[in-house]
Structures are given as C-alpha cells and as structure tokens.
Amino acid sequence: MLGEFLQIGDRISVAPVIHGSGDFAIEIRRIMLSHKFDCLAVPLPPSFQTDVEAAVERLPAISVVIQEEPAEFNLNSLDDDSAEAASRRASFVPVDPCQPVIAALRIAIQERLPRAFIDLETDHFECRGQVFPDPYALKRVSIDRFAAATLPAVPRPALPLHLARIRTMAERLRELAQRFDRILFVCSLSDWLWIRDEFLSIPTDDKSQDQTTRTPLPPDVEFQITEHLTEPEVSETQLCTPGENSLMFLLGELPFITGLYEQARAELDSDENLSVDGLKELLLAARERYQLELGLMARKITPKLGSVWLRYVRNLALIESRMTPDLYSLVVAAQQIFGDQFAIELAETARTYPYEPEFSGPEFSLSVDRARFPDGGIGQAVSRLPGPPVLWRTCELNRKPPRIDRERWKMAWNPFRQCSWPPEDVAIEKFRNHVKDAALAIMGADLARTEKFSTSLKDGLDIRETLRNWHTGDLYVRIFPPQIGTLDCVLMFFDSPADPRDYPWRITWMAEHHDESTLALFASSFQDEIVGPGIGQARYGGAMFLFPPRPIPEVWTDPRLDFVDTLEERLLAAACSHAEEKHIAVLSEAAPGAGWRRLAKRFGKKLVHVPLGRFSQETIQQLRTVHVLNGHEVRSFAAHFIRKP
C-alpha cells in the first residue's frame, strides 16, 4: 500500500512502477481498488489519450498506438542512391494488460475516474530504459519499501529533454492538485523522485506545503530545457494491430503469461502468483504441443523431469541475480533437459497469445528497436513506456525443416540406396550387449542352489533360507555355478502386440563390419518423416539381432516363415531358425506367452525373458528412433539435420 513516503504534498499519491511488469500491474490494481481517488495521472502526452483509451477498451486484444516523428535528413547521403535521405522514426505506446500504466487506465475507465495525460509533447522522444530489481519482490515487500530500496541506483537525469519532461509533469501535477483532492500518479520508478523534487520547488502561496530550491543548472542546459518546453506540433497518433511475431517485442511479459493474466481476469481466478505459476502452465502447454508434433516419437515428459527443469530454471535465474527467469533461461534449460525439439516447442508456446484482435486496423510490426510501419517502410521505434533493456541472446537449436524442403527431399529420394547412421548403430549394439548380459544373469540365477554353511560363504549368504531355518541356528549360503553357453540372438519387442499398419517398413540389414549384428526389423515408414536431404526418420517396433553377424535370407520374404501370423512371431521364427545357441533373449514388456514358447520348442530353443521395465524409459525412447540415410555420402553431413526428440 502507499505510505507517506510516496506522497507529493497533501493531494498526490505516487505509484512508482517498472513498466511492463505484471507484478506491478497487480499492485496498481490493488492500490486503486483499496483507495479512493478522484483523478488518475499518467506519464503520457495528451495527444495519445484518445487512441490509447480506445485501445484499452479493446482489451484483451493487444493494440499499439504509434506517433511518427519528423524525418531527419542527412545531407551527406543525398548523393548515395543506396541510402535513404530520410530516417523514419516513431514512438509508440504498447496497450498491454501487464503494463501498470495501462492497468491503471483500464480500472480508471471502468470506475469512470477522470484521466490526465501529463507528459510533454515532443517530436523526438528519447527512450531511457534502466535495469531494476526483480518485481517479484513485491510479493513480500511493499511498494514504498521497494521504491526506497532502489533510490541509490536511480541516477539523476542529465538529458535536457528528460529534464523538460520532468518539469512539465511537475507543473501539470500542480495544476491538477488545484482541481482534485486525491490524485494517483503512476510513473516510472526512475522518474518519480525527480518529479517530486521539481514539484516541491515550484513557488506556491500555500505556506503549509514543503518548499525546496531547484538545483541550478548550467546556462546552456537551461537554455535547451526552455527550448524543449515549447511544445512543437506533433503528428496524429495511429491505432494499429501488432504484426505477426511482434508480441514478443511489444509485451512486457511473455505473451503466454500475459494470456494467463487475461484468462484469470475473465474467469475470476487468482493471478497473484502467475509470474511463477505461469511457468508450470507453460511447461504443460509446451508438452502437449510437443507430443502432438512428434506423436509416438516424443519422449515422455514426466513430473520428475518437469521438477528438474524448474530447478534448473531457478538456478539460471539466480545466476543472473533475478527471481523470475527470462525466455532465454527457459529455452536453455529445456534444451539441456528435454532436447532441441522440446526447446523449440517451448519457445513457440511462449510467444502464443490466445486473444485475437477484434478489429482489422493497420499493421505495425516490431523487433528490437526496429519496426515496419503500416505503409511498409522500415525505421526505428521507441516505447513511451520503456521497461528493462531488451538484448539479443543466442541459443543454437536444430529446428525442424520447413514443409516445402521436406517435400523436395522426399521427391529426390533414391529407393535403391539405404544405410544406417553409425552413432545409432553403436548405441543399439551397446544396448544389445546389455540385454544379452542381463539374459545371461537370469539364466545363471535359475541354476543357483542353496546349501548349509560349512567352511566358505561361497557366493554370499542366503538371507531368506537362513531366516527360514532360524530356529536351527544354521547359516545357508548361495552357489552360482559357472555360466554354460552364451547367446547369439537377441529379440527386442518395443511395441507388442504391434499393429502392422503402424510399422509398414520391414527389412533385413546385413552387417557392414564384424562389430555389427545382422539385423531384421519392423518400424514406421521413414519416408513419412524426412528430416534432411537424404535423411529419413523411423521408429522401431521390434528387431532381431544376430551376433556374430552372418548372411541370412530376407526374413520378410522367406517362404519358410509364412506359417506365422504376426510381426513378432515372424521375427521369433527367424530367430529360432538362424540362432546357433539354444537360448534366445527376448526383451519385451510382458513375458512370452504359451504360444511363443511352443514355437520356440518346435525349433528346440528356449526363451529367456528380460523385462523392458528394467531399463530407463528415456533410454528406450531414444533407442527406438532410427535414421535411414540415402547413401554413405550422407553420413558426412547427417549430424547437422538429425535431431534427437
């Protein structure tokens, strides 16, 4: 709430804010609804009042009010045909629900309070953004203490135009104080102190008010201030619609977070902590978009991974001395934990705003300090409500290629050339070894026996048998006999039962060298997901590995295997036909049924089941993704296009 520290005289209360902060917008709403005021003063020129208030009426649709400035002619560039003789420039007011000034105007219009736009009219506005503490501190600190804590970091104005604006606002506040009894003045945290000093230095006949002496300035500065106080004729303002992809540069908060504030307002929900809770909503919305984009190839975003992402984001924000993160920190954390594709989806979700404009006005597109005007011209643009400085920061993400490129690459595919991507070959072979070792351990556990302790603990104490014979006082130990035999065939069924319509690509690949297995697989169609020139992406449904490698007939066209019905049974029959060892490892979610065991017994084989749940689902999801290259030469540049989901 406002204390005596933020009073100017007896009739004016100041609410210093950080422009573009949703937390300050909530604080302004709380102040205006808990106190009675009869006038609202804002730091905008009178020429903006009509269009700004009209744009406020259109909320939650975002608008922008622009005012072009006179062109600055450069005589040195008149002879240069490639350079423009005039440089276009404009100032604008973002009509943003999370702008504290706009939030104050919105409430004042609803409460039918008089509004006063008291800033100086100028034909060349100078933007002056400044870094302040994180506004999230308002959750624990009152606005007057927040303002007091920032006083040592607020520099004294030095530019003549800035000094002229301060002097004009102080004089107009003095005029308002003669007409109204309770005035709320919403202004920037960097200006309120100097406006207060200027207000108290204006001579008055009221002896009850404190009087101060204006700090003397150099004569040349005073002359420039006097020149600026003579208000020039300015251009008419124009109410525009933000261009596509401009909201990231126009709004103070992320467009997605701004949309959550408006949704909470419409549904009468609490929005006190949306600056932090909104990040959780952003994560969930990005997960839905990510899963919709990748389908079965999307990795599982579990609550545990989400909590890891939130902790990572918190740590990145603390490193930058902030309480809430910016978009860069969110994307970097998502890239490190979930991968490039999820980071891209998170960035795309963050810039979405759910409310479309209800009127079709001229379009004004904005970037960092640059803008495209409604007539198509390019120039500079500065905000009349400048927040913290905005900087470009680089984060390298491997994006999904455009649809037109994917269609072109698909048309250029040579159906007679196929090969794998070596890094994935190495990964799947390591996993095959891991599954084989797990199967051998299971085989050894089945042969273990227990005997009474005599002279040696053998392979360890058998706790269960010892407790069972506790009354006798005897100890029992376990004995694992040496492993007999090995495995030369591993079956992996990631999706069982498998729908043949989901896995139309079926092939047998021979090994390229002695460290690779002979591989027979069924997977989704790689031609449906072309990710680069000569690079297709598929998803394993199941696979058979024979190691050491050996030449075998094509599994999917071998007439000797036509007696089976399903994809899994065909791979199982091929494994039983070509395996030289008696045991076959089967990795699947459920244990092989009686039908599979009868099929194996028909060939004199035994199945050793390795549960799929023994392995990390994150690892399984990555191993199931396979890339098919249209020739060995594609391997030289495939890493540039292959993105792990």
Token representation of residue 395: 């984060």
Choose from 441-450, 558-567, 634-643 the range with maximum mean pLDDT: 558-567
Q: Residue 83: what pLDDT?
A: 45
Cβ-contact 165, 91 below 8 angstroms: no
Task: Report how far residue 212's alpha carbon sits from residue 220's, in angstroms, rounded to the nearest whole number.
Answer: 23
80 in a structural domain: no
Question: Does 435 lie in the same domain as 566?
Answer: yes
Task: Report how far residue 171's alpha carbon sits from residue 204's, in angstroms, rounded to the nearest whole number.
Answer: 11
Question: Does 113 lie in the same domain as 126?
Answer: yes
Q: Residue 100: what pLDDT?
A: 95
Q: Residue 77: what pLDDT?
A: 47
| Residue 430: Cβ-neighbour burial (10 angstroms; 0-12, 13-18, 19+) | exposed
Q: Residue 221: what pLDDT?
A: 65
Question: Does 203 lie in the same domain as 280?
Answer: no
Planar angle of CA 390, 331, 256, nearest 5 degrees = 70
Question: Does 320 lie in the same domain as 224?
Answer: no
Question: Which is more confidently placed, 244 or 526?
Answer: 526
- Give Dmax (Cα) for the chain: 112
Backbone angles phi, psi at 245, to 5 degrees: 70, 20
pLDDT value at 231 more than 80: no
Question: Does 559 lie in the same domain as 576?
Answer: yes
pLDDT value at 460 more than 90: no
Helices (H), 207-302: 219-229, 247-250, 255-267, 274-294
Last residue of a domain, one of 483, 505, 533: 483
524 in a structural domain: yes
What's the pLDDT tens digit per position in 465-498? 889 989 888 898 888 776 666 889 999 999 988 9
Q: To the nearest whole number, what is the mean pLDDT of the chain?
A: 87
Instruction: State what percent of residues in the chain have pLDDT above 70.
Output: 92
What's the pLDDT tens digit per position in 114-134? 999 999 998 888 877 778 889
Q: How many CB atoms lie within 10 A of CB 465?
A: 16
Q: Based on C-alpha coordinates, what's the Rg of the chain?
A: 36
378 in a structural domain: no
Least confident interval from 11-15, 179-183, 268-272, 447-451: 447-451
What's the pLDDT tens digit per position in 21-51? 999 999 999 999 998 999 999 999 999 999 9
pLDDT value at 264 more than 70: yes
Question: Does 183 lie in the same domain as 260?
Answer: no
In the three-class reduction of DSSP (H, G, I as helix; E, B as strand; rest coil), residue 503 is classed as coil
Task: Report how far residue 594's alpha carbon sits from residue 297's, in angstroms, rounded to the nearest whole number.
Answer: 31
Question: Does 590 lie in the same domain as 473?
Answer: no
Last residue of a domain, one of 337, 352, 367: 352
pLDDT value at 359 more than 50: yes
Task: Report how far residue 435's alpha carbon sits from residue 615's, in angstroms, rounded to the nearest whole number.
Answer: 9
* Chain CA centroid to CA 183, Å: 41
The DSSP code for 324 is S
Residues in the chain: 645
360 in a structural domain: no
Question: Does 441 lie in the same domain as 576?
Answer: yes
Looking at the structure of the chain, the number of domains it has is 4
Positive or negative, the Cα torsion across 522, 508, 616, 638? Answer: negative
Instruction: Give 545's strand partners.
Output: 490, 519
Report the chain's terminal Cα–Cα distance, integer Å.
49
pLDDT value at 643 more than 80: no
What's the pLDDT tens digit per position in 408-437? 999 999 988 889 999 999 999 999 999 999
242 in a structural domain: no
Instruction: State what percent of residues in the chain have pLDDT above 90.
Output: 55
In the three-class reduction of DSSP (H, G, I as helix; E, B as strand; rest coil), residue 249 is classed as helix
Q: Residue 82: what pLDDT?
A: 38
Least confident interval from 152-156, 251-255, 309-313: 152-156
- pTM of the predicted structure, to 2 decimals: 0.79
Residue 384 banded pLDDT, cuts 50, 70, 90 = very high
pLDDT value at 141 more than 50: yes
Overall average pLDDT of the 76-97 stretch:
68
Token representation of residue 28: 């302004």
Q: Residue 484: what pLDDT?
A: 62
Q: Residue 2: what pLDDT?
A: 73
Q: How many CB atoms lie within 10 A of CB 415?
A: 7
Q: What is the 3-state secondary structure (H, E, C) of 459-480?
A: CCECHHHHHHCHHHCCCEEEEC
Place of tokens 């994307």: 331
Residue 104 banded pLDDT, cuts 50, 70, 90 = very high
Question: Does 275 lie in the same domain as 133?
Answer: no
Token representation of residue 403: 């649809």
Cβ-contact 525, 573 below 8 angstroms: no
Least confident interval from 11-25, 63-77, 295-309, 338-352: 63-77
Within a 13 Å sphere around the CA of 592, how many CA atoms are in the beta-carbon half?
Answer: 23
Task: Report how far residue 575's alpha carbon sits from residue 554's, in angstroms, rounded to the nearest whole number.
Answer: 12
pLDDT value at 262 more than 90: yes
Q: What b/e string do you get for 549-566 counting C-beta neighbours within 10 Å, with b at 16 or more?
A: beebeebbebeebeeeee
Task: Report how far residue 412's alpha carbon sits from residue 121's, in angstroms, rounded to the nearest whole number.
Answer: 61
Q: Residue 12: what pLDDT?
A: 92
Q: Residue 547: what pLDDT?
A: 93
Overall average pLDDT of the 75-97 stretch:
67
Residue 84 banded pLDDT, cuts 50, 70, 90 = very low
Last residue of a domain, one of 299, 318, 352: 352
Task: Report how far residue 125's alpha carbon sits from residue 118's, in angstroms, rounded to the nearest whole number.
Answer: 15
Question: Does 476 lie in the same domain as 423?
Answer: no
434 in a structural domain: yes
**Can you spell out the DSSP letters for 547-577?**
SS------TTT-GGGTT--SHHHHHHHHHHH
Q: What b/e string do you get for 299-312 counting C-beta neighbours within 10 Å, with b at 16 or more?
A: bebeeebbeebbeb
Question: Does 623 lie in the same domain as 504?
Answer: yes
pLDDT value at 572 more than 50: yes
pLDDT value at 75 more than 60: no
| Residue 534, Ramachandran bin (φ over 0: left; ψ between -120 and 50: alpha; else beta) | left
What's the pLDDT tens digit per position in 157-173? 888 888 888 999 999 99
pLDDT value at 213 more than 70: no
245 in a structural domain: no
Q: What is the dihedral of CA 41, 46, 51, 56, to 10 degrees?
A: 0
What is the domain range of residue 590? 419-447+485-640
Task: Report how far residue 645's alpha carbon sits from residue 342's, in angstroms, rounded to the nearest whole number.
Answer: 7
400 in a structural domain: no
Q: Residue 621: what pLDDT?
A: 86
Positive or negative, the Cα torsion across 167, 160, 28, 94? Answer: positive
Helices (H), 509-615: 567-578, 594-602
Q: Residue 481: what pLDDT?
A: 72
Q: Which of 533, 508, 529 lies closest to 414, judged by CA?
A: 533
Helices (H), 295-421: 303-319, 327-338, 340-350, 403-411
Question: Does 51 lie in the same domain as 120?
Answer: yes
Cβ-contact 533, 412 below 8 angstroms: yes
* Chain CA centroid to CA 70, Å: 39
pLDDT value at 94 more than 90: yes
Place of tokens 């790689």: 526
Give the list of residues 6+ apart from residue 381 with CB closer than 8 angstroms, or none. Answer: 66, 89, 90, 91, 92, 366, 369, 370, 371
Task: Report how far residue 168's alpha carbon sits from residue 45's, in angstroms, rounded to the nearest whole number.
Answer: 10
Q: Residue 403: what pLDDT?
A: 86
Residue 611 banded pLDDT, cuts 50, 70, 90 = very high
Q: How many CB atoms lie within 10 A of CB 412?
A: 11
